[in-house]
Amino acid sequence: MPECRIVLRNCGIVDPASIESYRAHGGFQALRKAKQLTPDQVVQEVKRSGLRGRGGAGFPTGMKWELAARSPGEAHYVICNADEGEVGTFKDRYILQNDPYGLFEGIAIACHAIGARTAYLYLRAEYHHLLGQLLRALKETGDAELGCHIEVREGAGAYVCGEESALMESIEGKRGEARYRPPFPPNHGLWQEPTVINNVETLMNIVPIIQNGADWYKTIGSGPCPGTKAFSVTGDVERPGVYEVPFGTALAELVVDLAGAVNVKAVQVGGASGRVVPAAKLDTPLTFETVLGAGAVVVLDASRSMVELATQNVTFFAEESCGKCVPCREGNQILLHLLTTLQQRSGKEQDIDALRELSEVMMISCLCGLGQAAPNSVVDTLEHFGDEYYSMVRR
């Protein structure tokens, strides 16, 4: 199956440094169309399209917008989550670099839909090199064209800030620790006001949905997952890069046909918190219900150790845990200790049982998605590559 470019429609076509180029390619037409509709009509169109959040959770975007629009507050806010920290993900950077105006237009339509006058674009500190270009593009566009004000807020280096409640804490100038929920952002978000927080890629879908209609959008993709998904493919492939394919496309088409993987042993889909798919299951369709996350796809060939992969992932979470809840803060440290012991060939079989048990506890008891998803790769590699673990036990 070839690529299907909806989110990346302008990448490589529109000059990202020229608003005139964007206008010449139909820029801001969807925003003008949206402004002729009532905010509720816009919300209903997005709701009908079945668009789901591309940050990984897949929550229906229209429902989020409707909840926020109907929630009372002194002000409403839209946040664009550009804190793309998931390991192996760079599709949002690609979008920010190649189509900033398309993103602003999507944000502006979201603002119109929920009655927000201000939007925040939360840019991860690692993408500081994009800031100048983004600010120039924003200045060139102007608040009058957008009908709202977009302010760029920079992070300061914290993976957990990609989690929506931690991100809002960070915009408020605090430590980026996850909040207890409920209440959810559409009711009590930024400064406790109704807030819609959407991923960059989610917002990139808004312009085509408004322009072409929800019925058109629903013809692409697969059942409960309409539209396309942008994937960042890396690892043992010939052609790493960003690929956009309709939902339901088989993993093999993405990693083998498009990216040129050979001799595949396993594919981690969804970054460090993602699932590990063994080569035998490469026919798995890419949907929110199977494997997806934010669309990081790391291919590992036959030479790679799965215990090493799990250790790398757990090392990441042990460092990035915000430390607020015990199962995540302590759990990741203990997982790491157990894995390291195994790698040093001094572990026992009971350590493998402990890995399983602790993973289960973390998945049900951690406060936010970070901790809940942290043991994913341990669980999956144990299931599909358990022999590798047992071969490391001290004899």
Partner 1 sequence: MANEDAGLRKQPSWYFTTAEPHKSRNDLLSFIKDVQRQRNGLSSEDIHGIAVAWGVTASEVYGIATFYSYLGTGPRARNVVRVCKSTPCCLKGCDRVAAEVERVLGIADGGVQADGSFSLSTVNCIGECDRAPAITVNEDVYQGVAAADVRNILSKYGAIQGGEDARA
Residue 185 interacts with partner 1 (CB under 8 A): yes or no: no
CA 2 – CA 360 distance, rounded (Å): 39
Q: For residues 319 and 353, which CB has a smaller minimum distance to partner 1 in the complex?
A: 319
Residue 86 interacts with partner 1 (CB under 8 A): yes or no: yes
Residue 77 interacts with partner 1 (CB under 8 A): yes or no: no
Within residues 367-386, the interface with partner 1 by CB under 8 A covers none
The only residue of 10, 61, 89, 141 in contact with partner 1, by rule CB under 8 A: 89
User: How many secondary structure helices (H) and strands (E) does the chain include?
Assistant: 17, 11
Instruction: Please name which of 270, 223, 279 lies closest in space to residue 252, comparing C-alpha atoms.
Output: 279
Query: Considering the complex, what minimum distance in angstroms separates the CB of residue 157 from partner 1?
Result: 3
Residue 128 interacts with partner 1 (CB under 8 A): yes or no: yes
Q: Token digits for 46?
A: 């997005």
Instruction: Please name which of 21, 19, 25 lies closest in space to residue 141, comparing C-alpha atoms.
Output: 19
* CB-based burial, 143-175: b 16+ in 10 Å, e otherwise: eebbebebebbbbeebbbbbbbbbbbbbbeeee
CA 64 – CA 196 distance, rounded (Å): 7
CA 323 – CA 175 distance, rounded (Å): 11
CA 339 to chain centre: 27
Query: Considering the complex, what minimum distance in angstroms separates the CB of residue 327 from partner 1?
Result: 20
Within residues 136-155, the interface with partner 1 by CB under 8 A covers 153-155
Q: For residues 29 and 133, which CB has a smaller minimum distance to partner 1 in the complex?
A: 133
How many chain residues touch partner 1 (CB under 8 A)? 51
The only residue of 184, 316, 385, 389 in contact with partner 1, by rule CB under 8 A: 316
Residue 90 interacts with partner 1 (CB under 8 A): yes or no: yes
Yes or no: say if 58 and 288 are a contact pair by the CB < 8 Å rule.
yes
Q: Token digits for 29?
A: 């037409």
- The CA-CA-CA angle for residues 320, 181, 288, to 5°, reads 70
CA 177 to chain centre: 18
Within residues 318-357, the interface with partner 1 by CB under 8 A covers 319-320, 322
The only residue of 157, 183, 223, 386 in contact with partner 1, by rule CB under 8 A: 157
Yes or no: say if 103 and 96 are a contact pair by the CB < 8 Å rule.
yes
- The CA-CA-CA angle for residues 304, 307, 312, to 5°, reads 90
Q: For residues 10 and 89, which CB has a smaller minimum distance to partner 1 in the complex?
A: 89
The only residue of 85, 226, 227, 293 in contact with partner 1, by rule CB under 8 A: 85
CA 332 – CA 339 distance, rounded (Å): 10
Residue 178 interacts with partner 1 (CB under 8 A): yes or no: no
The only residue of 146, 242, 325, 392 in contact with partner 1, by rule CB under 8 A: 242
Q: For residues 32 and 174, which CB has a smaller minimum distance to partner 1 in the complex?
A: 174
**Rounded (10°) angle between helices 91-98 and 100-114:** 100
Phi-psi region of 95 (alpha: psi -120 to 50; beta: other; left: phi over 0): alpha
The only residue of 109, 276, 279, 298 in contact with partner 1, by rule CB under 8 A: 298
The only residue of 19, 51, 79, 87 in contact with partner 1, by rule CB under 8 A: 87
Place of tokens 């022999």: 387
Q: Token digits for 131?
A: 């800031």
Query: Considering the complex, what minimum distance in angstroms separates the CB of residue 339 from partner 1?
Result: 14
User: Per CB under 8 A, which region of 5-13, 165-173, 181-189, 356-364 contacts partner 1?
Assistant: 165-173
The only residue of 58, 73, 147, 241 in contact with partner 1, by rule CB under 8 A: 241
Q: For residues 19 and 299, which CB has a smaller minimum distance to partner 1 in the complex?
A: 299
Q: For residues 33 and 153, which CB has a smaller minimum distance to partner 1 in the complex?
A: 153
The only residue of 70, 117, 136, 174 in contact with partner 1, by rule CB under 8 A: 174
Binding site for partner 1 (CB under 8 A): 84-90, 92-94, 124-129, 153-159, 170-177, 232, 234-236, 240-242, 268, 271-272, 298, 300, 304, 309, 312-313, 316, 319-320, 322
